[in-house]
Amino acid sequence: MIIASGQPGQPTVWHDVELSATERRRRYGLVACTPCRSFVAGEWVALEFTFTIGETELGPGGRLALAWAWPLDWTDLQFEDPGGDGFTTIAVQSGHGSATTAELGLRHFRQGPFDPWQHHLELTVVRGRLAEGDMVVLTCGDQSQGGKGWRVPTFRLRNLEFVPLLDPDRSDHWHRLPPVEGLSVVPGSPARLVAVAPGDGLVGETGTVTIRAEDRWGNASMPVHARPKVRELCAEPAGPLLELGEAVICADPPVVQVPVRYKASGLTRLEVRLPDSDLSAQSNPVQIATKPPKWRRYWGDMHSGQSEVGCGVGSMAEHFTYARDAAGLQFITHQGNDHYVSRDLWDLTRTETENFHEPGRFVTFLGCEWSPPTSDGGDRNVFYRHDESRLRRSGRFFQEDDPDPEPDLTTAEPFLEAMRYEPVLINMHVGGRPTNLDWHAPEIERLAEIHSTHGTSEWFVKDALRRGYRVGITAGTDGITGRPGACHPGWRNNRNVRNGLTAVYADELTRTGIWEALAARRCYATSGERIGLWFEVDGQPMGSMLTTAGDPLATIDVEGTAPLESVELLRDNREIHQWRLAGPSPAANGRHRIRLLWQGTAQRGTARAQRVTWDGSLSLDRGTLHAVEAVNFHGGEDRVDQPSGDRVAWRNATAGNRAGLVLEIEGDEHTVCSFNAPPIRFSFPLAHVLEAPLVRETGGLDCRVAIGPAPDNDAPTRASLTFRDVDALTGTHAYWMRVTQVDQAQAWSSPVYVSRC
């Protein structure tokens, strides 16, 4: 049992587990919140917290605190501007009918010393004394003078928790008051529809199509009585290839599941519409075969993130349920940071992993994230082939009544040496503490992550390949908001982009089948869309190692979820061939379709370090702007505004990914456009970008702006391609590929490692 929380050398939060609720209130006091209700995700509110002092009085230097967990993306609080958002006030009332002489100071910690409650307000007695019965009223998001208030977290929470604390003697030993109860966050109204189909099937088999409505922030928000309309679309050969069953309404999470039976072979998609709305969606492609292929494609997330077992929210059961029922995943792990996982919580992880394991439907692997600072090795996802009672931690941010005797392994060298011959796999990645690639155990570190909610991290995979590491490429969520496999970044307080996914080619949907595929690196990554992808060299699939004396022949098959823009073949970290599949959109009636595309990462590191803010505008001189379309905007606050016919403004940020706008402009050789965003400002004649893109580098990692003809939306969604590398090099080289759709969704194959003599 955990009796205290906190990093070594930092303030300690004592849970005082031996105290009853009554004794805790008597000794430390209590906190009440007004209003006490359910809030809509992202709603602006004013909350009043009233601390009532218990027997433990506070003299000068004594402190109260109101803390909340790391994932909760409440907006910032401030004390200077009464008319501004997040304005916070404090008032002291005597509990004895007389004026109190206590004077309190107030501080807001955006990333404070409590762990895992890094956000907190701290109230310090500066003069006087807070006696038993005195009340301290804290108003967060005061709206009385025109401010919008305090914005509620952007994701669903069954229990919106605040942790009130007390440190009477400024010893940094804090004690928990009774929790603030009765608060929750519910989804808003649907703003987007998503349809998830199985990647492939066999004639005669059945499968499930998951239909998810999402609110502005990405929360599952299907109306209770909704009956989406589903029809087969774009079957090849002409269908129908599917038989649709009766929809099943799931209440928690709120989604609709439609059973399907595969009637005939071919490639098909589904179209879904939500009645009484303008929301519709197309599913990913479904490939149906008559006979079982050698390997089948399964979708999952081996870096799905963590629940309240770790630094996330929600129960572990909710974590697995959401992944299976809302995200439609077929395999998963739970990846709590090990320094939060006590022996009891590790046993819970083991139990829930087994409870949700259902071979043939939903495969779960026991997992945990080894999480030291990057200087000591950095985060590494550990996947266990079998159940494991031992947990080799990087450290402990807790104290137990009966400490786990398993010794901690605080740096990479002893950790990798201990794990090297265990039945485990390790996924290296960019997270809160990016993996330090100076240490590497090739026997077990066979995977590297290229995309998560932190951002798109091609630079990380390229660093691994530059070092000669032979890794498969994965993508995942690394989420902390309880939405594995279907996660959004909110307003980018903690994350930047939507999650990625990993597809594997396995002989069966079992632990044995998925494990063998991952160990063989027979996997690929996407930025979240279920793009179909097959890649081989000289007949050997992605992840393979082969030896040849000839010129390697690469074969690629792609099935997009949108029109395909380009496919690029890389040898090591150099592009050796590109197929441009989308031509430029033709001009019509003197109007040109122009695309602005910005991309890049500020610097290597965590989500905040990677983020590039592109909030900006484009203005026209001697031209008219007729239409604007956003491309690959991920955040709930991302938006486009067109205040006039000669100007467009936007809010957006990237972290390795690409985003932008498609503009319909009427202009001629005299039209001049001016681009203005924090990374760069420049002007250009419209005529200069009608034939080829204008590219401006802005610093950082692959940070640039490209402006040119918009790609044609009538580009193909499927492609079968080959390329023979007649300039192949001797030695061992990694051949891999990148797919980019017109909507800027991407996929990356694992490399084939070719040794050429």
- Token pair of 656, please? 């390795």
Strands 501-506 and 523-526: antiparallel
pLDDT at 451: 98
Rounded to 10 degrees, what is the CA torsion of 634, 636, 637, 641? 70
Rounded to 10 degrees, what is the CA torsion of 332, 335, 336, 337? 180
Phi and psi at residue 639, to the nearest 5°: -160, 165
Q: How many domains does the chain have?
A: 5
Q: Is 158 part of any domain?
A: yes
Identify whether residues 545 and 691 lie together within a single domain. no
Q: Is 585 part of any domain?
A: no
Model pLDDT for residues 230-244, shown as the tens digit of each residue: 999 877 888 789 999
Q: Is 737 part of any domain?
A: yes
pLDDT at 235: 77
What is the b/e burial string over 504-515, where b = at least 16 CB atoms within 10 angstroms of the residue's CB? Answer: bbbebbebebbb
Among candidates 534, 402, 543, 374, which has minimal Cα distance to 470?
543
Identify whether residues 553 and 620 lie together within a single domain. no
User: Are 708 and 596 contacting, i.e. CB atoms less than 8 angstroms apart?
Assistant: no
Domain boundary among 186, 221, 244: 186
SS (H, E, C) 215-241: CCCCCECCCCCCCCEEEEEEEECCCCC
- Asked if the peptide bond before residue 372 counts as cis, ω within 30 degrees of 0, the response is no
pLDDT at 407: 97
Tell me which DSSP letter residue 397 carries: S
Domain boundary among 670, 687, 709: 709
pLDDT at 665: 98
Identify whether residues 226 and 288 lie together within a single domain. yes
- Token pair of 511, please? 């632990």
Identify whether residues 543 and 607 lie together within a single domain. no
Q: Is 581 part of any domain?
A: no
- CA-to-CA separations, 245 to 209, 257, 280, in angstroms, rounded: 10, 10, 19
Residues of the chain with pLDDT under 50: none
Q: How far apart are CA 364 and CA 511, in angstroms?
A: 7
Q: What amino acid is encoded at 54 in this protein?
A: G
Identify whether residues 683 and 741 lie together within a single domain. no
Identify whether residues 563 and 642 lie together within a single domain. no
Question: In 10 A of CB 693, how many CB atoms?
Answer: 15
Alpha helices in 590-717 (DSSP H): 607-610
- Token pair of 259, please? 């059973």
Query: Does residue 675 sit in helix, strand or coil?
Result: strand
Q: Is 106 part of any domain?
A: yes
What is the domain-level CATH number for residue 551? 2.60.40.10
pLDDT at 98: 67
User: Are 554 and 722 contacting, i.e. CB atoms less than 8 angstroms apart?
Assistant: yes
What is the b/e burial string over 539-557, where b = at least 16 CB atoms within 10 angstroms of the residue's CB? Answer: eebbbbebeeeeebebebe
What count of Cα atoms within 13 Å lies in the side-chain half-sphere of residue 123?
28
pLDDT at 692: 84
Query: Does residue 354 sit in helix, strand or coil?
Result: helix
Identify whether residues 67 and 171 lie together within a single domain. yes
Identify whether residues 523 and 552 lie together within a single domain. no
Residue 482 CB burial class (10 angstroms; 0-12, 13-18, ≥19) = buried
Cα-Cα end-to-end distance for the chain: 59
Phi and psi at residue 578, to the nearest 5°: -135, 135
Model pLDDT for residues 708-757, shown as the tens digit of each residue: 999 999 999 999 999 999 999 999 999 999 999 999 999 999 999 999 99
Give the residue numbers spanning the domain of 217: 192-293
Q: How far apart are CA 489 and CA 496, in angstroms?
A: 5
Identify whether residues 26 and 43 lie together within a single domain. yes
Phi and psi at residue 74, to the nearest 5°: -55, 145
Q: Is 597 part of any domain?
A: yes
Identify whether residues 88 and 43 lie together within a single domain. yes
Phi and psi at residue 416, to the nearest 5°: -65, -35
Q: Is 584 part of any domain?
A: no
Alpha helices in 196-332 (DSSP H): 316-321
Among candidates 571, 442, 553, 546, which has minimal Cα distance to 757?
546
Q: What amino acid is encoded at 48 in this protein?
A: E
Domain boundary among 293, 328, 356: 293
pLDDT at 744: 99
Query: Does residue 683 sit in helix, strand or coil?
Result: strand
Identify whether residues 278 and 346 lie together within a single domain. no
Among candidates 748, 718, 745, which has minimal Cα distance to 581?
718
CA 466 to centroid of chain Cα atoms:
26
Identify whether residues 228 and 214 lie together within a single domain. yes
